[in-house]
Structure 1
Amino acid sequence: MPTYRIAVVDTVHNDEELRLNLDLLKERREHAVIHEAKAKSKMTKYYNARVRGVTFRPGDFVYHSNEASHVVDEGSLAQSGKDLTRSQQHSKTGRTG
């Protein structure tokens, strides 16, 4: 004896509803992509409002991190951390996007 749930299901109507749900799913995904783009734009504006732009000209003294440049250690006399170097290129502001 089939259960009430199985006995009541209309297969033709159910297939139509499933197709409709797939169409609505595409719309929900599009809406989610738009919402994500708005949120990223808002975060970028928030960040850029608080970041102070810094420009470097060739010849300016700047701190250079040895760890970031992957320089090989030269024993116990090697510099650790940061050292003072001259900038080689003109960089733009530190802002994103």
Structure 2
Amino acid sequence: MKSDLVKMDAHAITSEEYDEIPELTDSMLERVDFYSGDRFVRRGPPDMAPGMTDGPDTIRLLPDVAAHFRAQGPGWQARVNALLLEAVERERGETPR
């Protein structure tokens, strides 16, 4: 989508137009994609996996382990999480999901 930025910059927003602008909510701001000029910087935080009630934790993986899962492409962190969950359930004597 191309816009005439000069024309847009020249337009003064009226009070009626300003009143029509929806209020930004916290959930909207959490999903914002960040840009620096035309360059994409980062996406807002991902939605938590089902069953997650707390924020993400950081764990350290051996470089070979991380490389193995990263080589499988997008979703590698979810696959690591699934394998860890299976190990926890096995250790507890539960039937893995």
Structure number with bigger Rg: 1
User: Which gives a bigger RCO, structure 1 or 2 (Cα 8 Å, sep 6+)?
Assistant: 1
The answer to whether the superposition gives a TM-score over 0.5 is no
TM-score (norm. length: structure 2): 0.23
